[in-house]
């Protein structure tokens, strides 16, 4: 297939809010960012297939990795796999503008026509600055209206809420089937972090999304509905990358 341009949406945030922590029920900022393998595994597939990637974020800040995603435990002790992914990110900083993503506001409607698809990795950071960004809503509305492949992984689907603030002023994906980081998985994280976290699955369901309980079926589940591909957790990173390329080729 001929090379295409892929837009990769990342958060500017290096933390997310953790509610009702401690005896005084205060809100604190919990360190986070993009989850390394959720970005690196699909990204590697896009590049090997010969596609061009462009990174974009709300304010154009250098993305921060989630500290938990850098641990050897996240890679089941595979030091070499972790190093390959860290090296890929360093390469993106040098060659693809990863250290200074395009600001959403700088990407015009005309420029959006040149992109074949959009991908949004997870990590908790999207909870901070992607769900209510009007320019992101405009960007995602373009891919939705044009039925271009749209993929989001883990907490990435939170970004779809931004369409409520875009030009149409309504949630664009009501009735879609999606999979995300589940509320059950988030409750485990709440025990670990000792605070409450905004729920992706439950919030999207309230907006009219037909949420698929991927984690109940198998680790690494993806759900495909029309132009949309969503995955439940980091274990779905390879599958979502493969399906995205398949749909990109079919367009």
Q: Tell me which residue of 46, 140, 40 sits closest to 81, measured CA to CA.
A: 40
Q: Which candidate, 240, 202, 234, places its Cα nearest to that of 219?
A: 234
DSSP string, 145-185: HTT--EEEETTGGGGGGGGGGSTT-S-TTTT-EE--S-HHH
Spatial separation of the C-alpha atoms in residues 130 and 162, rounded to whole Å:
7
pLDDT digits (tens, 9 = 90+) for 119-133: 999 999 999 999 999
Residue (of 225, 124, 240, 123) closest to 176 by Cα position: 225
Instruction: Decide if pLDDT at 217 tops 60.
Output: no
CA distance 247 to 251: 6
Measured at the alpha carbon of residue 134, what is the angle toward residues 130 and 137, in degrees to the nearest 5? 75
Q: Kindly state the percentage of the chain with pLDDT values over 70.
A: 97
Give me Rg for the CA atoms of the chain.
Answer: 17
Angle between helix axes 237-250 and 36-48 (nearest 10 degrees) is 40
Q: How confident is the model at residue 218 (pLDDT cuts 50, 70, 90)?
A: low
How much is the pLDDT for 81? 97
pLDDT digits (tens, 9 = 90+) for 72-117: 999 999 999 999 999 999 999 999 999 999 999 999 999 999 999 9
Architecture of domain 5-250: 3-Layer(aba) Sandwich (3.40)
What confidence score (pLDDT) does residue 2 get? 84
Mean per-residue pLDDT for 132-150?
Answer: 98
Sheet strands (E) in 10-160? 15-21, 26-31, 52-57, 102-103, 115-120, 150-153
Phi, psi of 173 (to 5 degrees): -115, 25
Average pLDDT, the chain: 95
pLDDT single digits (tens) 190-206: 999 999 999 999 999 99
CA atoms within 13 A on the CB side of 103: 4
pLDDT for position 214: 55
Helix (H, G, I), strand (E, B) or coil at 39: helix
Give yes or no for residue 213 having a pLDDT over 90.
no
* pLDDT tens digits, one per residue of 26-83: 999 999 999 999 999 999 999 999 999 999 999 999 999 999 999 999 999 999 999 9
Is residue 1 predicted with pLDDT exceeding 90? no
- Residue 22 structure tokens: 């401690």
Model pLDDT, residue 216: 47
């Amino acid at each position: 297939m001929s090379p295409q341009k892929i837009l990769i949406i990342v958060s500017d945030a290096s933390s997310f809010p953790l509610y009702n922590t401690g005896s005084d029920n205060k809100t604190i900022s919990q360190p986070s960012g993009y989850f390394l393998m959720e970005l690196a595994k699909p990204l590697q597939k896009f590049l090997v297939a010969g596609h061009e990637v462009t990174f974009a974020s709300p304010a154009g800040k250098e993305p921060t990795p989630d500290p938990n995603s850098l641990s050897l435990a996240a890679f089941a002790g595979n030091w070499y796999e972790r190093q390959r992914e860290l090296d890929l990110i360093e390469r993106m900083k040098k060659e693809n503008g990863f250290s200074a993503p395009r600001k959403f506001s700088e990407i015009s409607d005309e420029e959006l026509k040149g992109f074949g698809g959009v991908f949004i990795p997870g990590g908790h950071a999207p909870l901070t600055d992607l769900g209510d960004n009007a320019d992101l809503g405009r960007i995602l509305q373009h891919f939705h209206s044009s039925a271009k492949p749209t993929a989001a992984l883990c907490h990435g689907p939170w970004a779809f809420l931004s369409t409520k603030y875009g030009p149409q002023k309504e949630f664009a994906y009501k009735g879609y089937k999606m999979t995300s980081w589940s509320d059950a998985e988030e409750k485990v994280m709440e025990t670990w972090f000792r605070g409450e976290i905004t729920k992706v699955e439950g919030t999207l369901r309230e907006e009219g999304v037909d949420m698929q309980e991927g984690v109940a079926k198998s680790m690494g589940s993806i759900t495909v509905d029309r132009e949309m591909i969503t995955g439940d957790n980091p274990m779905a990173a390879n599958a979502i990358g493969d399906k995205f390329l398949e749909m990109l080729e079919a367009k």
